[in-house]
Amino acid sequence: MAFDLRAFRTALGSFPTGVAVVTTSASAEQHMGITVNSFTSVSLDPPLVLWCLDKKSDRYHAFTNSMSYTVSILGTDHQDVSSRLARQGSHSLDGIGLNDTELGPPALADALAVFECKAEAVHDAGDHAILIGRVLRFSRHAHGEPLVFFRGKYGSLAQTS
Ligand SMILES: Cc1cc2nc3c(=O)[nH]c(=O)nc-3n(C[C@H](O)[C@H](O)[C@H](O)COP(=O)(O)O)c2cc1C
C-alpha cells in the first residue's frame, strides 16, 4: 500500500503545538525570520533546544550556516507575524516589533519567552535538517497567552480556571 503523505501530514497536525519565530542575521543590518512549530527542548544540562527546517526552504542555507539564532515563543497577539513569516519568500523583519539581543539575531517584542542560541549541530533528517542550539541566554514573560497550532489552524488555550 502506498504511503499517503498528505494523510500523514494531516495526522501529524493532530499534535497541538506552540508557535515560534526563529531569527538569524545574514549581516548586522540584515535579519531574517521563519515561523516554526517544530521547536522542542532537548537537554537541560547542557541547555539544548532543537527545531527542524525543510530542505526546500529558501531560508535553508542562511539558517544551517548561521553561527547563532534566536527563538521567540509567540503569543496570540503574534498571529499576523506568524502568518507573514510563514509565507514563501517572506523573510524580512521590517516593521515587526523587535528587541536587540547580545548574540545579534533580534527577538520579537512581547514574546512569551526568548532563547538566544549558538548553533551546536545540524543533523540530516530526511527532507528536513534538525538544528540543535545551545542556549546561552533566555528570558520569559510571566503573562500572555500562547499561540497554538492545531489541525492546520491557529488557536489559543481554553481557559480552565
Ligand atoms: C504554524 C507553522 C509552523 C511551521 N513550522 C515549520 C517548521 O517547523 N519547519 C519548517 O521548515 N517550516 C515550517 N513552517 C513553514 C515555514 O514557515 C515557511 O512557510 C516555509 O519555510 C516556506 O517558505 P520559504 O521557502 O520562503 O522558507 C511552518 C509554517 C507554519 C504556518
Cα(124)–Cα(22) distance, integer angstroms = 19
User: Does the pLDDT value for residue 151 go beyond 80?
Assistant: yes
Predicted confidence (pLDDT) per residue in 85-134, tens digit: 999 999 999 999 999 999 999 999 999 999 999 999 999 999 999 999 99
Q: What atom of ligand 1 comes closest to residue 89's alpha carbon? A: 26
Ligand 1 neighbourhood includes 66 CB (under 6 angstroms): no
Q: Which pLDDT score, from 0 to 100, does residue 158 have? A: 79
Predicted confidence (pLDDT) per residue in 29-86, tens digit: 789 999 999 999 999 999 999 999 999 999 999 999 999 999 999 999 999 999 999 9
User: Does the pLDDT value for residue 161 go beyond 60?
Assistant: no
Predicted confidence (pLDDT) per residue in 4-42, tens digit: 999 999 999 999 999 999 999 987 778 999 999 999 999
Cα(156)–Cα(63) distance, integer angstroms = 28
Q: 146 falls in which pLDDT band (50, 70, 90)? A: very high
Ligand 1 neighbourhood includes 22 CB (under 6 angstroms): no
Q: Which pLDDT score, from 0 to 100, does residue 30 have? A: 87
In the numeric block, the cell 550556516 is attached to: 65
Q: 160 falls in which pLDDT band (50, 70, 90)? A: low
In the numeric block, the cell 527532507 is attached to: 127
- Give Cα separations from 39 to 11, 49, 52, 145 (angstroms): 18, 7, 7, 17
Q: Classify domain 18-142 at the CATH topology level.
A: Pnp Oxidase; Chain A (2.30.110)
Atom 13 of ligand 1, nearest CA residue:
36
Atom 31 of ligand 1, nearest CA residue:
86
In the numeric block, the cell 480552565 is attached to: 160
Q: Which pLDDT score, from 0 to 100, does residue 27 have? A: 75
**CA 109–ligand 1 middle distance (angstroms):** 20
Ligand 1 neighbourhood includes 38 CB (under 6 angstroms): yes
Phi then psi for 145, rounded to 5 degrees? -95, 135
Atom 19 of ligand 1, nearest CA residue:
86
Ligand 1 neighbourhood includes 72 CB (under 6 angstroms): no
DSSP 8-class letter at 76:
G
Instruction: Report the amino acid identity of residue 61.
Output: H
